[in-house]
A and B are shown apart, each in its own frame.
Chain A
Amino acid sequence: MIIPGLNCDNEYCMDISGEHLIEADREHVWKLLNDPDVLKKCIPGCESLEQNSPDTFRAKVVLKIGPMKASFNGDVELKDKVFPSSYRISGEGKGGIAGFASGDAAVNLVEENGGTRLVYEADAKLGGKIAQLGSRLVQSSSTKLAKQFFDTFCEIASQEATV
């Protein structure tokens, strides 16, 4: 458990976790979690996601939080894949003068009543100006962005399952 706040390097650290029940079978959900087009649609503000190797991507993300608007270039990697039940998705990006952001989420898929329960636990770190000035808003905004990612994902997964 990380206590949200600035550490001694002036980086803002926090934990974000949540879970969703998706009405689709686990292998289908797993396939979508590994589909770059689906990931691109789910990452809030993602303008491009290029696949460099099966498990690494180059991303450009425009982050808008209220009056702030910063463009981040970064790398996304899928790690510790255990078909079809879990992986880690980690990423880090630099937003020029705004600072940097990095995050790592453990995603677990559990079969439940014919559907799939998706459980995620993420820790995220922000540094630079965006962390210092935005500390009032960082936690709630980050939680919102994580929620947005998984909400969109669940929507896509449920839709595809019913087609």
Chain B
Amino acid sequence: MYETKYQRASNVEDAAKMLAATDDGKFISGGQTLIPTMKQRLAAPSDLIDVRNIDAMKGIAVDGSNVSIGAAATHAEVANSNDVHKACPALCDLAGMIGDPHVRHMGTIGGSIANNDPAADYPAAMIALNAQITTSKRTIGADDFFTDLFETALEEDEIVTSITFQAPSKAAYAKFPNPASRYAMAGVFVAQVEDGAARVGVTGAGSSGVFRHGEMEAALSKDWSEAAIKNCKVDEAAMLSDLHGNAAYRANLVKVMAKRAVAAAG
């Protein structure tokens, strides 16, 4: 058994101090990726600093069209929030599709986006909703936050504290889950934001993680319909290829999921 020291932070300043004092520590939120990784001995941090009990990271607030979700909110809390449902039901649908009930009751939105798994669901919504991601140090637009596979703009001692966005006029998420893991083989979040502009976030499929599909955005901004994206191209060279599906398969799935999402958004 490897020894790990568990500590609980009560505010973000303390959390950063605790991390700085460790040999090889890590922040932990719901632990739905980190704990299984540790159980397999693929990670052995000296210390775990739990950030779920920081008050500033809790709760969901909806004020008119402003939606603010604390980073420690679990997927189940987002899925079942009446306030979020009124502002952006697509985000509740997405949260309700993540993993299984255990994952949804433990995993948090902040943990999910800080991990930036290329097949995680939330990153697609974050870039499609043009969310602002507030951390212990600054606010970062979603477009600049997700940088590559498992990589974000976050520094080692920086913690996501909340996510804010403007309620879209319409939005929907469609995903083709891997039947075993429920991770997205391809997941597409479409949103119509201010001035009728469309944003399309794609997860699960891109070889550099989540991305926006510019051609579909342009087509949907002019004409919000399945037919509008019929001739859009998805670049196979930019797709993931693994034992679950090759690049051509994923490129096709992206388009199918995009059409389903557009139809669902109405």
Contacts and interface: CB of A to CB of B under 8 A. Distances in A.
Contacts of A136: 119, 181, 183, 242, 244
B41 A97 contact: yes
B231 interface: no
Name the interface size band of chain B: 20 to 34
Given A66-B115, A140-B149, A140-B240, A98 B42 contact: yes
Interface in B4-55: 33-34, 37, 40-45
Interface residues of A, number: 24
Given A98-B42, A137-B118, A144-B148, A67 B242 contact: no
Interface in A1-34: 4-6
A129 B34 contact: no
B150 A66 contact: yes
A33 B192 CA distance: 50
Contacts of A137: 118, 149, 242
Of the candidates B42, B115, B150, B241, the one having the most CB atoms from chain A within 10 angstroms of its own CB is B42
Given A4-B241, A4-B243, A67-B42, 16 more contacts: A65-B150, A66-B117, A67-B150, A68-B37, A68-B42, A69-B42, A69-B43, A97-B42, A133-B42, A135-B243, A138-B242, A140-B118, A140-B149, A141-B149, A144-B149, A144-B208
Interface of A: 4-6, 65-70, 97-98, 129-130, 133-141, 143-144
